[in-house]
Structures are given as C-alpha cells and as structure tokens.
Amino acid sequence: MPANETALINGRIVGDDGIRGGAAVLLADTRIAAILPAHDPRVAAATPVDLEGGLLAPGFIDVQVNGGGGVLLNNTPTVEGVRAIARAHRRFGTTGMLPTLISDRIGTMREAIDAVREAIDAGVPGVLGIHLEGPYLAPSRRGTHDARVFRVPDADEVALATSLGNGVTLITLAPEQVPAATIRTLVARGAIVAAGHTAASWREARAGLEAGIRGFTHLYNAMSPLQGREPGVVGAALEDPGSWCGIIVDGVHAHPASLRVALAAKPRGKLLLVTDAMPMVGADSPSFELYGETITAVDGVVRNASGALAGSALDMASAVRNAVRLLGVPVEEAVRMASRYPAEFLGIGDRVGRIAPGYAADLVLLDDTLGVRATWIGGEHERHAA
C-alpha cells in the first residue's frame, strides 16, 4: 500500500447508482484509488478522515463563471485574478471551473487566455480552461454584453480563440452570426462550441448543430423562444437529444416550470447547472464595474443600469439546493447536474465528475442542508465554515 493513502470514512457517497453508506473512499495522491467496504484492511491502514455522516459528492464543475471574490475576469485578466475567482467559488463546492470572459476587445481576450494558460501551468486549484462568451453574438440578444465589440472572427482570431493549449476552451456564439465553416474550424481546433445570445431561427440553430455546436448557454435566456410556428433556438435545444443545456436555477433567470419542461424534454444527463456568477459571489460588495457601468445585486438579482439581467449572484451549492427545492430533482441527480454532466459536456468525463477509481480526487462534503463543509481538489483537503 502506498504510504500516502487517505481513507474518507463514515460518510454517505454519491455514486453512479445513488447514495451509498458503509463504504470508504481511498485517496492516493491526486486520485481516487478505490471505494472499499469500511472494514477493508486497506482502509484501516490508511490515514483516516472522518466525514461525520456527511454526504460525499463529486466536486462541482461550473462552466460559466464570470467572476467571484470581488473580481471580474474582464477587469482582471491575470493569473491572480483567475486565482481569486477560483478561490471564491471553492467554498461553495466548485472544484473545477471555466473562468468566463464576457464579450470584449481582442487585446483583453488575449490577456485572459494567457492568464488562464499560466494559471493552469502554475497549478491554480480548480481551473479547467476558459469560456469565451462572445464576442460573436447577436446584437438583439446581447443582454448586458457590449454590442460595440461584437464581430465575426477571421482566421487570426479563430487561431487566438483556440490557442489555450493546456485546458478546455468553450466558446459561446450566435450561429446566425458566424459562418458554419468557421464553427467547423473552431471545433476542428479543439474548441467546444455552444449557442447563446442568439436570435437564430430553428433552422439556423439546426445548421449550427450540424456544424458542430455541442450545447446551449443558459437555456431560455438571451435566445429566440419556442413558439408554435417558429420553434426558435429554445425549440432546437429541447428537441435535439445529443446536445447539452446549461441552466441557471436561481428562480429569476428561468421560471421553475420552464426548467421542469426542459427536464422532461431532454434525455437524462443533458442538463447541467451553471451559475453565470459575477464578482459578488464570495465577496462583501454587491456591486462591480463592467464596461464602465456599475452593476449591482439587489435582493440577489444582478442587473445593469437599464434593468437587464447581468449574470447572477448564484453559487453552485445554492444551484444544487434550488434544483432539489424548485425543480423536485432528487439530491443525487442534482449533484450529477453539478458534476458528472458538466464534465461530460466538456469532454473530460473520463477523469473528473465522478467518485470512481482512477478519477481525480476532486470532492465536496455536504451536510444535511446541502451546505459545503469541505472540499478536496487533487486530493488537497480544505475545510469550510458552515
């Protein structure tokens, strides 16, 4: 037995088949070595960590994190900015994330990509890649994005947008604004492409899916709606069995009934929880600056000066609780929507997002209210205040 094995004991484990008691999770360095009966000799020989009856789940993976800890990636596209955002979200159970750049100038895009690359090289805990939300979007569905920076990427910008190299790149774009050939090139260069902030018709959305679009960013928000004679982007998203949809479950961005419709329409595993979090998550201030404008959260709802929703003040632990409370999703399924399903969407479901031998030791310990008590990232343990 390796000398550095740790046994997580006396917990309830969220596995592929439900919640399991009477077992221990054995960690070896950065990986899960085994799941064993509590009385197994290897468990007795390892260094114990008593989970005190808590719920041990795969660490949460958030594919849309604009900011946290008082930092917005657009304003602080540096390694330290990325580190601060990841640090702020860890206390809410997020052990893997994509720092997200809202539409911006090409220079800021280059700085953000460089910062994320350097953060991954430096081993900043929890950083899996980058999400470029725009600037290839539809002006009529811009939300709080600045349409003055919207553009169609040329070959040089396609090369830049896909230049991360050491992590996942997710790009949100409007399929009616970007030629199908360009979408295919982005995909061929390794990017995951999602449709969002789009006024596309159902036919245009379908063409985007055929060109390689893999998912839909914050379903229902900033996209053409489902109607009887024009299904729109929402209709294309709900109809398509192979694509994933991110959902913001905060009771504001989408009505719970609409999200329950999506749960009924999509195959299991194709809806994933996202936060679309802004800097006030994990920070004391309810306000921040974007494009020179003050954005403020009032009663937990984030809006710009014109009243448009501008991201959220949601964290992943709250999203999981809301999925249970507002959508009626079982706890174990809500956990999968925050861990396994995002990992599969990102194409890394073979190494993160599950509690299984060989997987990364990225874990979250929850109490009976689904509050976060502790996290592990790459086997490194951190306790969190209730």
Can you read off the two tokens belonging to residue 31? 């990986």
Nearest to 320 by CA among 334, 336, 333, 340: 334
pLDDT tens digits for range 84-127: 999 999 999 999 999 999 999 999 999 999 999 999 999 999 99
> Which of 240, 250, 276, 362 is flagged as catalytic?
276
Mean pLDDT of 61-76: 98
Query: In this structure, what are the phi and psi dihedrals at residue 308, rounded to the nearest 5 degrees?
Result: -75, 145
Enter the CATH code of domain 59-345: 3.20.20.140
In the predicted structure, residue 261 carries a pLDDT above the cut 90: yes
Inform me whether the pLDDT recorded for 167 exceeds 80: yes
CB atoms within 10 A of CB 71: 26
Residues forming a β-bridge with 32? 27
- pLDDT at residue 231 in the model: 98
What is the DSSP-derived secondary structure letter of residue 267? P
What distance in Å separates the CA atoms of residue 297 and residue 310, rounded to the nearest whole number? 9
59: pLDDT strictly greater than 50:
yes
Q: Give the Cα separation of 292 and 111 in Å (integer).
A: 19
Q: Are 336 and 364 in contact (CB under 8 A)?
A: no
- Indicate if the pLDDT at residue 251 is higher than 90: yes
Residue whose pair of structure tokens reads 């896909």 in the numeric block:
162
Q: Out of 294-308, 349-363, 368-382, which region has the weakest mean confidence (pLDDT)?
A: 294-308
**CA–CA separation, 77 and 72 (whole Å):** 8
The type of residue at 110 is R
Residue 276 designated active-site: yes
pLDDT of residue 295 exceeding 90, the answer is yes
DSSP output for 209-247 = HHHT--EESSTTTTBPPP-SS--HHHHHHHH-SS-EEEE
Question: Percent of the chain beyond pLDDT 70?
Answer: 99
Is residue 304 within 8 A of residue 337, CB to CB? The reply is no
Confidence label for 2 from pLDDT (cuts 50, 70 and 90) = low
pLDDT at 3: 55
CATH 2.30.40.10 fits 5-57+355-383, yes or no: yes
Q: Are 161 and 169 in contact (CB under 8 A)?
A: yes
- For the segment 308-365, what is each residue's pLDDT rounded down to a tens digit? 899 999 999 999 999 999 999 999 999 999 999 999 999 999 999 999 999 999 999 9
pLDDT, residue 300, reads: 87
Check: CB of residue 332 under 8 Å from CB of residue 279. Answer: no
| Confidence category of residue 306, pLDDT binned at 50, 70, 90 | confident
Residue ranges, comma separated, of all CATH 3.20.20.140 domains in the chain are 59-345
Summarised one tens digit per residue, pLDDT across range 122-154 is: 999 999 999 999 999 999 999 999 999 999 999
- What pLDDT shows up at residue 4? 82
Question: How far lies 249's CA from each of 116, 258, 260, 291, 326, in Å?
Answer: 27, 11, 11, 26, 8
Closest to 141 measured CA to CA, from 200, 93, 80, 101:
200
Q: Can you give the pLDDT at residue 385?
A: 84
**pLDDT digit string, tens, across residues 191-213:** 999 999 999 999 999 999 999 99
The predicted structure's pLDDT at residue 386 = 66
Q: Please check whether residue 115 is in contact with residue 102, taking contact to mean a CB–CB distance below 8 angstroms.
A: no
Query: pTM higher than 0.95, yes or no?
Result: yes
| pLDDT value, residue 1 | 45
If one compares 339 and 4, the residue with the highest pLDDT of the two is: 339
